[in-house]
Amino acid sequence: MSNKIVEIHDLDFFFGQGNLRKQTLFDINLTLLSGEVVIMKGPSGSGKTTLLTLMGGLRSPQSGSLKVLGQELLGAKKAKTIQIRRNIGYIFQGHNLLKSLSARQNVQMSLELHDRVSPEQAKQQSIKMLEAVGLSDRVNYYPSELSGGQKQRVAIARALVSHPKLVLADEPTAALDSKSGRDVVELMQRLAKEQGCTILIVTHDNRILDIADRIVHLEDGHLFENWSSSSPQSA
């Protein structure tokens, strides 16, 4: 299989219709390779979340080409998009845990989308994943009984438990203090390297830039690439 996990060519994106139609993304070209940790930076409103949701199959592309795991999303049928989404782990700012489910059940839920796993296997794998994120003593806790950092760890466990090829994280440290934020991204980076998955992190948090293999910038819907984390521009 190709090592190109995401391949975007000449992608434009518009919100709205008629007079209200407004271009948000302009001629985006981007490739994410297998096992890379890539950070996407950029001012508020520059289009980062829009691009992330397009890559995640949560929004339909309108032009250009957007391939995820070799599959074209432009013009893809709903069933195909849903199939692609099963190979993607999502981590969002608000962590989106279900309040009525324990940490283990929240993680397990994402495995139950995969019919090849029995409920008992799913349970064991979920517990193992919670151990991997340092929550072995919180497996049966509910979200309301966990700190912000612990909730974000559960969200990471949930995103990674099915060993997705691609993980998309939108501001994963935004709600965390700097120590918890740092711990959370280092954990994501370590698990990504262990599992060989590609991670794209959208962030405003300059303190975590050094964990990236590559940093891309979005400004007013235009993408600039190849500013490495050690380059002076990214400081």
Ligand X SMILES: Nc1ncnc2c1ncn2[C@@H]1O[C@H](COP(=O)(O)OP(=O)(O)OP(=O)(O)O)[C@@H](O)[C@H]1O
**Residues near ligand X (CB under 6 A):** 15-16, 24, 42, 44-50
Q: Least distance (Å) from ligand X to the CB of residue 214?
A: 18
Q: Least distance (Å) from ligand X to the CB of residue 12?
A: 13
Q: Smallest Cα–Cα separation from 200: which of 90, 86, 85?
A: 90
Q: Smallest Cα–Cα separation from 130: which of 114, 146, 119?
A: 146
The Cα–Cα gap between 117 and 113 comes to: 9
For residues 24 and 105, which CB has a smaller minimum distance to ligand X in the complex? 24
Q: Least distance (Å) from ligand X to the CB of residue 101?
A: 27
Q: Least distance (Å) from ligand X to the CB of residue 46?
A: 4
In the DSSP assignment, the letter for residue 77 is -
Residues 140/103, Cβ–Cβ less than 8 Å: yes
For residues 16 and 119, which CB has a smaller minimum distance to ligand X in the complex? 16
Q: Strand order in 166-170's β-sheet?
A: 88-92, 166-170, 198-202, 37-41, 214-219, 222-227
In the DSSP assignment, the letter for residue 133 is T
For residues 48 and 138, which CB has a smaller minimum distance to ligand X in the complex? 48
For residues 34 and 234, which CB has a smaller minimum distance to ligand X in the complex? 234
Q: Least distance (Å) from ligand X to the CB of residue 218?
A: 6
For residues 25 and 160, which CB has a smaller minimum distance to ligand X in the complex? 25
> Mapped to the 3 state alphabet, what secondary structure does 168-215 carry?
EEECCCCCCCHHHHHHHHHHHHHHHHHHCCEEEEECCCHHHHHHCCEE
Q: Give me the residue label for tokens 């890379």.
A: 36
For residues 32 and 111, which CB has a smaller minimum distance to ligand X in the complex? 32
Q: Least distance (Å) from ligand X to the CB of residue 193?
A: 26
